[in-house]
Structure 1
């Protein structure tokens, strides 16, 4: 697996901004926000249909279905952006979408990527809820160490590891590692899942 870090946009965040704009329009009135929400809904419909497919197949289908939808959406955005006051709720939503466009469209290039970060947000919710309990990380170094450990745990879970067993194996094997290659073998995507004992 390539360990390149890619900055992705989140379509759920974009959708929330257009929902805010829709609410500001008032009940029963159609607006550009409704159009944007409809277009985003089409992207999510494709994602729902391919959710359980392998990454390569997701990429292929996204190129066939989502890419043309995104191209239409971009044309709509380019046409409507100059027509809306930037300080309005709708204007803010449109400018956010325009500013994030490149990051929002990366997901169609790689089936391993998600259309939004809702799954990640759900997985870190326990940390966010419990953050007052973790005030011991009262330094920048402590916060960085906590973030690294949380990221390692969530990545291990993503790759099918039970976190306690994974960390136990890593902490057992890491002191024995003599090279960068031996350390990299302990990364979640390189280590075979640890069976029940």
Structure 2
């Protein structure tokens, strides 16, 4: 596999992008050691996951969490519809996407 890497000049020598993506998870993992209960750790990890996924989908984090918390009760009896609250759904993209400065 290394031969293919050396043959393609477009490949980056650095893995800084991968390291920068993994860094917040390492910090979070250290912080999760200090939760008092399993439920508290689970709740924090869910929020953490939502925030990081929103970042990766170029969403306004506050607007995304506000939308999720606003609409979540509507899906209590219809859990299959919760797909609409995923960061890549059309509704979320329209409501929460960070506008580009172009």
TM-score by length of 1: 0.36
Q: How many residues align?
A: 88
Distance 1:170 1:122, change over 3 A: same
Superposed, 1:1-20 pairs within 5 Å as none
Q: Greater Rg, structure 1 or structure 2?
A: 1
CA-atom RMSD in angstroms: 3.4
Distance 1:154 1:174, change over 3 A: same
Unaligned runs of 5+ in 1: 1-38, 49-115
- 2:43 corresponds to which of 120, 131, 145: 145
Unaligned runs of 5+ in 2: none
Using the alignment, how far apart are the partners of 2:83 and 2:23 within structure 1? 28
Using the alignment, how far apart are the partners of 2:21 and 2:63 within structure 1? 22
Deviation by residue 1:106-165 (Cα, 9 ceiling, x = unmatched): xxxxxxxxxx84232233365367x28x83x21222212211211111011101111111
TM-score by length of 2: 0.62
Q: Which residue of 2 aligns with 1:121?
A: 22
SS in 2 for 1:160: coil
**Off by >6 Å, runs of 4+ in structure 1:** none
Distance 1:47 1:152, change over 3 A: farther
